[in-house]
Amino acid sequence: MDRKAGFLFLSALYITFFGLPAASLAAENICHQQGLEIRQAEIRATPPNAPVTGGYLHIHNHGTSMQRLTAASADFSGHTEIHQMILEAGVMKMSPLKDGIEIAAGGHIQLKPGGLHIMFMQLKQPLAPSDMHQATLTFDKCGDVPVLFKVTKTPGQSDSAGHSTGHTHQH
CA dihedral for 155, 156, 161, 167, sign (positive or negative) = negative
pLDDT digits (tens, 9 = 90+) for 118-141: 999 999 999 999 999 999 999 998
Mean pLDDT of all residues belonging to the chain: 80
164 pLDDT exceeds 70?
no
pLDDT value of position 32: 67
13 pLDDT exceeds 60?
no
pLDDT value of position 156: 72
89 pLDDT exceeds 50?
yes
Contacts of 155 (CB under 8 A, 6+ apart): 42, 43, 44, 54, 56, 112, 113
pLDDT digits (tens, 9 = 90+) for 139-160: 998 889 999 999 999 887 644 3
6 pLDDT exceeds 60?
no
> What is d(CA 31, CA 7) in angstroms, rounded to the nearest whole number?
13
pLDDT value of position 18: 39
pLDDT digits (tens, 9 = 90+) for 15-74: 333 333 333 444 445 576 678 899 999 999 999 999 999 999 999 999 999 999 999 999
- Please name which of 106, 99, 63, 66 lies closest in space to residue 81, comparing C-alpha atoms: 99
The rounded radius of gyration (Å) of the Cα atoms in the chain is 17
Instruction: Answer yes or no: are the C-beta atoms of 110 and 58 closer than 8 Å.
Output: yes
pLDDT mean over 101-117: 95
Please give the full DSSP string across 31-85, using - where no structure is assigned. HHHTTEEEEEEEEE---TT--EEEEEEEEEE-SSS-EEEEEEEETTEEEEEEEEE
Beta pairing class for 91-96 and 36-44: unpaired
Q: Give whole-number Cα distances, 123 to 60, 86, 150, 164, in Å.
A: 28, 24, 16, 23
DSSP 8-state assignment for residue 105? T
Q: Which CATH number fits domain 37-153: 2.60.40.1890, 3.40.30.10, 3.40.190.10, 3.50.50.60?
A: 2.60.40.1890
Q: Which residue has the higher pLDDT, 150 or 7?
A: 150
pLDDT value of position 154: 86
DSSP 8-state assignment for residue 88? E
